[in-house]
A and B are shown apart, each in its own frame.
Chain A
Amino acid sequence: EAGVVQSPRYKIIEKKQPVAFWCNPISGHNTLYWYLQNLGQGPELLIRYENEEAVDDSQLPKDRFSAERLKGVDSTLKIQPAELGDSAVYLCASSQGAGETDTDTQYFGPGTRLTVL
């Protein structure tokens, strides 16, 4: 079974430029997550989708970050304009969507390492 796919793996841009990251979740997974991970730290949730609906975007800096998950499968995370402090690894994860079950395991993609110069 294919895992979570992300592209690009690496991106270098100059500040004030736009950038977009793409994620394809595991087939059949209804829930999709975008995380930001700074060096030496754990992931921080940016946004969570249930199918095509963003159910938790409280940590997404909406002045410059946007995300979409059209048709409830692939997702795109965009930053416009990028700032120096946005340099980090952006991780996508997916899970089945547990409903009333006890747990809902998240599976992560390889991440996109963004460097803003």
Chain B
Amino acid sequence: QQQVKQSPQSLIVQKGGIPIINCAYENTAFDYFPWYQQFPGKGPALLIAIRPDVSEKKEGRFTISFNKSAKQFSLHIMDSQPGDSATYFCAASGSGGSYIPTFGRGTSLIVHP
């Protein structure tokens, strides 16, 4: 599987801050880039996803920025809340032989009250 590099490994912010998590990929065949949120002891849940034909997608307080030329995408959480404290995984998948999703290593986010 092609690797998806995710950073940082952990992130601590104050309530109201804007944590940013970054991911980079190598395989240009990837054409679907989701983010998943996972709480302890639970399975991941799809948070938001983007395709390469747009540079930004926003859903509520969550925004994905996508840079096709740099092969990078990032998740921004606006007005972060303590309830956002979780582990976030980026992923990439695509049609053809690379459709099996490849996950980043995950970012543990803590939002202090």
Please indicate whether A and B come from the same complex rather than being unrelated chains. Answer: no
Q: Which residues of B contact A (CB under 8 A)?
A: none
Q: Which residues of A contact B (CB under 8 A)?
A: none
